[in-house]
Amino acid sequence: MVDSPPASSPDDAGHGAHGHHDGLLKLAVGAVGVVFGDIGTSPLYAFRETFAGHHKLALDPAHIMGVVSLMFWSMMIVVTLKYVSIIMRADNKGEGGSLALLALVSGKTKTRRWSSGIIVLGVFATALFYGDSMITPAVSVLSAVEGLAVAAPAFSGLVLPIALVILVALFTIQKSGTNKVGLFFGPVMLIYFAVIAVLGLLSVIKTPGILWALSPHYAVEFFLIDPVRAFLALGSVVLAVTGAEALYADMGHFGRNPIRVSWLFFVLPALMLNYMGQGALLYRLGMPALESPFYMLAHESLRLPLVALATMAAVIASQAVISGAFSVTHQAIQLGFMPRLRIAHTSAATVGQIYIPIVNWVLMTMVIILVLFFRTSSNLTSAYGIAVNGAMTIDTCLLGVLLFRLWHWPKWAAIPILTLFFIVDGAYLAANLTKVPAGGWFPLLIGLIIFTFLTTWSKGRKLMIARMRDGAMPIKIFIESAANAATRVPGTAVFMTSSPDGVPHALLHNLKHNRVLHERIILLTVKVVDSPYFPDADRFKHEDLGQGFHRLILRYGFMEEPDVPACLKTFGECGAAFKMMDTSFFLSRQTLLPAERPGMSIWREKLFAWMLRNAESAMEFFRLPTNRVVELGSQVEI
């Protein structure tokens, strides 16, 4: 019964995040623990894969300096300039992420011919995120545990079983909440970044010439000397910036400034010191260090503790992605791209801490399949990157709309920046496409499947609502004809309806079968707007229809949890206060029938019907009292 109306066009895109009253330093530390786990574990595999991956590079000064330079300038352009400096200004009432950005942009483009294309891009970016959320835990944990083969070669045969045990344990604890575990995230990641920075610095001190790699001319020289391999190397270099989109997606949890402070003054220096340290190590030792330049930075006696620390960091990175999958799914449900799913709250104090069982177990199954199928982190990196890069490219497209339509930047300022971003994203995307046969097909396949689900549900739901609206009797005619003819009984009847027009099917069926009407009848529609939160003062829209009939629209933001009974208790503009023991909730459960002129192809109709049958009950989704709910069936053609 949730209706997602056209965007409400919030105009405060440049405002800061909401409700961040804690100290900047405390939030910055928290951001290090949650936001930077993905990009922070990239040194485990990114530098190694650039040289030892499917397109091997020579271990000579020109290639080493070129790769370090590419990584540094990638982080400066993609992360620092694009996300930290520009895109993070585009918050939707404090919230970030592809869906929040889509809701923000679509509000300004809904009357334009290409608005549907913008929506499709945003939805596809969301679909790609799920592919990424399957690969990140697999590659992060596996690459960390593979350090055992370096630190203690005798245990190399246990790498796969240990990785699987860790991953299964990680997904199993999700249902109990991660609030207490989360308290350790910040300190552990602070130690992790400090350690990798020190290890990198010690290596750089031994080979200080690596510092010259910060000059962009080494990246340019790399392309001039070996253009084909330099282009192919971009497919691995991009692994250094995977997780950049998390800065934007997690903005609602920590705020813009704490994330910026953490990145600029702690995370970026630590990552670059480590990458330069790995480059310096390869410079000195050559091929022997290529097995694992990350772990080789540490003294032999320290490698086992480093494996333990890196594994904890990988688990934290995986946790952030899993939590992100729950959050994105919740947003998609509220915005009308997914059917209702069972959502459990794992913290009474923090609204955003949720657990979605079906998402958790599907992710765990796919992650285990990935680990068993690819078996090594090196093989997994072939599948990694393309989903992230696809989402980043889509973010650049949406950014173009933002710059011109919302922020009204002059062309002389917007075009050069967008051109730079499109060139960088396009180069990375083209390089990643070469990895499709070796594993890049997996996130694309997952993205395509989920995109099909999202668009099928969105279109089918709109068609179903339109068919129901077409056949609905005007409410005024119904009231005039039925109000006095039917027997009125004491109490309140709340009829949940997805359309704020016409007579709900449940009301017609109830009158037909029971031949009574309650003294007070509420036609209730729950709408989810394109803002993350909706002010309590404006939450209700009420219309007195006469004869004891009331039309009530209850509005929520896409980050909020609908609680219909709790809201009704606070509303006092339609007679006596609501008492749940005197209130009955009537729901309509639709059964789909094939139409002569189907609005969708038959296979998509069947898919939509299956999703509708398996959707979470509206009773649980809206938190209705179980002993006060009546469900009535109806048939709808789409």
CB 72 within 8 A of CB 272: yes
The pairing of beta strand 354-355 with beta strand 344-345: antiparallel
pLDDT at 1 over 60: no
Confidence of residue 430 (pLDDT cuts 50, 70, 90): very high
| Chain mean position to CA 635 | 34
Proportion of the chain above pLDDT 90, given as a percent: 33
Say what the pLDDT of residue 328 is. Answer: 84
Domains in the chain with CATH codes = 2-439 (1.20.1740), 471-637 (no CATH)
Closest listed residue to residue 263, CA positions, set 95, 40, 98: 40
pLDDT at 222 over 90: yes
Token pair belonging to 378: 């090196």
Say what the pLDDT of residue 110 is. Answer: 57
Q: Please tell me which of 108-122, 440-454, 571-585 the model is most confident about, judged by mean pLDDT.
A: 440-454
Closest listed residue to residue 93, CA positions, set 244, 243, 256: 256
Interval 465-470 mean pLDDT? 77
355 phi and psi, to 5 degrees?
Answer: -140, 125
Say what the pLDDT of residue 18 is. Answer: 41
Say what the pLDDT of residue 270 is. Answer: 96
CB 17 within 8 A of CB 256: yes
Distance, first Cα to last Cα, the chain:
17
Interval 259-280 mean pLDDT? 94
Report the interhelical angle of 115-145 vs 386-401 (nearest 10°). Answer: 150
Interval 172-178 mean pLDDT? 76
CB 500 within 8 A of CB 525: yes
Confidence of residue 20 (pLDDT cuts 50, 70, 90): very low
